[in-house]
Amino acid sequence: MTQTDSAQNLIALLQLAYSAELAAAYAYRGHWHSVESAEERTRIKQIEDEEWHHRELAGQMLESLGARPDRQREIRALIIGRVLAVLCHLMGWLPPMYGAGRLESRNVGEYETAARYARDCGRDDFIDCLLTMAEVEWEHEKYFRSRVLAHPLGRRLSLWPEPPPKEMIRELFYREAEASLELARASS
Ligand SMILES: [Fe+2]
Ligand SMILES: [Fe+2]
């Protein structure tokens, strides 16, 4: 894959993330309003704030790459976020917790992939930020998993695959970077 391909892939992934964060933030706003426990409200509100922050960071990276958010994705995300926010009030306690956990587990991988594209297109300045975002998504997944498992019915559900330990996000990334450097050295 050329540097240009990686840059294009990075832009596409950041556009996706930028809009997905909007949908997530609106959905979590509905979610924390729908739960009764003060502790859950505080944590989910904090997660909402973190999604807004991610959106801001993804937007800054897009700008720095000379790209813009995707208009269609933005409209779709706005609708999805608003609909999910309403559904949180109608579906009961468990389904939004389960749905959030499943989605968060995907977000971890997306920011890890974005960090790899950043490395491959020479934007090393994005790497730490993207890996930190992956780590924050890891914490989100962990929280929603713990909530589902706290529910008697949730414990009987089959859950999405558990992500590897958080430290592995950076460890794997840098191990892989070292291996590709060695490969490049060996072939030159
Ligand atoms: Fe996020
Ligand atoms: Fe998240």
| CA 39 centroid distance within chain | 23
How many angstroms is it from 74 CA to the middle of ligand 1?
15
CA 146, 111, 141 angle in degrees (round to 5)?
5
What pLDDT, on the 0 to 100 scale, is given for residue 177? 84
Residue count of the chain, please give it.
188
| CA 1 centroid distance within chain | 24
What pLDDT, on the 0 to 100 scale, is given for residue 44? 98
Q: Which of 60, 34, 30, 65 is nearest to 48 (CA)?
A: 30
How many angstroms is it from 179 CA to the middle of ligand 1?
29
One-letter amino acid for residue 50 of the chain: E
Q: Which ligand is nearest to the CA of 104?
A: 2
Q: Which ligand is nearest to the CA of 140?
A: 2
One DSSP character per residue, 86-138 reads HHHHHS-SHHHHHHHHHHHHHHHHHHHHHHHHHHHTT-HHHHHHHHHHHHHHH
Ion ligand 1: residues, CB within 5 A, are 51, 54
What pLDDT, on the 0 to 100 scale, is given for residue 111? 98
Could you give the C-alpha distances from 14 to 34, 73, 111, 162, in angstroms and in order?
30, 11, 9, 24
Whole-model pTM: value is 0.94
What pLDDT, on the 0 to 100 scale, is given for residue 3? 87
Helices (H), the chain: 3-34, 38-64, 71-90, 94-120, 124-149, 167-187
User: CA gyration radius for the chain?
Assistant: 18
One-letter amino acid for residue 185 of the chain: R
Q: Mean pLDDT per segment of 10 residues, for the chain of length 188 residues?
A: 92 98 98 97 98 98 98 97 96 96 95 96 97 98 98 96 96 91 83
One-letter amino acid for residue 84 of the chain: L
What pLDDT, on the 0 to 100 scale, is given for residue 104? 96
How many angstroms is it from 46 CA to the middle of ligand 2?
10
CA distance 147 to 98: 8
CA distance 21 to 23: 5
